[in-house]
Amino acid sequence: MQCYRPVMPVKAMTFDLDDTLYDNEPIIARATQSLNDRIAELYPKAAALPEAHWNTIKKGLIKANPGLASDMGRLRYETLYTGLAEESLNDNARHDAAQSLFEHFYSARSDFSVSDDVKQVLAALAAKVPLVAITNGNVDISKIGIADYFTHTYHASVTRPSKPHPHMFDEAVAALNLLPQDILHVGDNLEKDVMGAHHAGLQTAWYAADRPMDLRHEPVSVLPSVQLHSLDELLWLVAD
């Protein structure tokens, strides 16, 4: 553990999920391939659209409704619905098709289990202080086996802006009924997690599960309170 700021007593922790507790990139890659295979199987005209066209659809949707940039699930559904205009479907059939495709992706996206080592750390922490999950993504924490460790879970959405916006941090502070400085936020992203939590008044711990942790290769705006070498170092920060 490397400390950059004095650490005050920690009475609760908030956690990012993707790339903090597990490497998310290969999971999303598998889920995306599974979705593409399903589209190719059922909707060949939509499947024939080049990737650039799908990206144009996504950008157009966000431009029309900026809140979609915070809601990965809704954005994916709307993108699928728009792309399926290539098929000869009425509105109801197109809605059902987009919903079915989204559910296929969502199931594949959450088709993994967090490692036992991480679960053991979360269990030990949860026995000492309340834990809250704060994620810009939409993973199903019940399906990946970690729901029991968290008292609250907040997913970014159209009405709940994504990190680094303070909205979800403020929600967690209010739910925990603590002062922001009593809470340590743990996350991999130095902008969305560290800077966002710092500006909301929380202490911060930087930890990434998906890459070597080298500040020279990261866009640093605000240093974390601590940099972890392993997740179990968090146990040193909570009282017995």
In the chain, what are the domain boundaries? Answer: 2-22+113-237, 26-109
> What are the residues facing 22 on neighbouring strands?
18
Looking at residue 70, its pLDDT comes to 85
Alpha helices, H only, 43-135: 44-47, 51-64, 72-83, 91-109, 116-126
What's residue 219's pLDDT? 86
Spell out a b/e string for 29-52, using b for 16 or more CB atoms within 10 Å of the CB, else e. Answer: eebeebbeebbeeebeebbebeee
pLDDT of amino acid 240: 63
Please tell me the predicted confidence (pLDDT) of residue 228: 97
pLDDT at 167: 97
Q: What are the CA-CA distances from residue 212 to residues 58, 72, 200, 204, 207 (Å)?
A: 31, 26, 27, 18, 10
pLDDT 10s digit of each residue in the chain, 240 long? 999 999 999 999 999 999 999 999 999 999 999 999 999 999 999 999 999 999 999 999 999 999 998 888 899 999 999 999 989 899 999 999 999 999 999 999 999 999 999 999 999 999 999 999 999 999 999 999 999 999 999 999 989 999 999 999 999 999 999 999 999 999 999 999 999 999 999 999 999 999 999 998 898 889 999 999 999 999 999 976
**pTM of the complete model:** 0.91
DSSP string for residues in 174-219:
HHHTS-GGGEEEEES-IIIIIIHHHHTT-EEEE--SSS---GGGS-
CA proximity to 61, closest of 46, 77, 45, 47 = 77
Q: The domain 26-109: what is its CATH number? A: 1.20.120.1600
Closest C-alpha to 20, from 107, 105, 198, 146: 146
The pLDDT value recorded for residue 212 is: 92
Torsion angles phi and psi, residue 205, rounded to 5: -125, 130
Dig out the tokens for 239 from the structure: 């009282």
Phi-psi region of 35 (alpha: psi -120 to 50; beta: other; left: phi over 0): alpha
Q: Tell me how far apart the terminal alpha carbons of the chain are, to the nearest angstrom.
A: 19
Cis-peptide, bond into residue 6, ω within 30° of zero: no
Which residue, among 218, 220, 167, 163, has the nearest Cα to 192 in the 3D structure? 163
CATH architecture entry for 2-22+113-237: 3-Layer(aba) Sandwich (3.40)
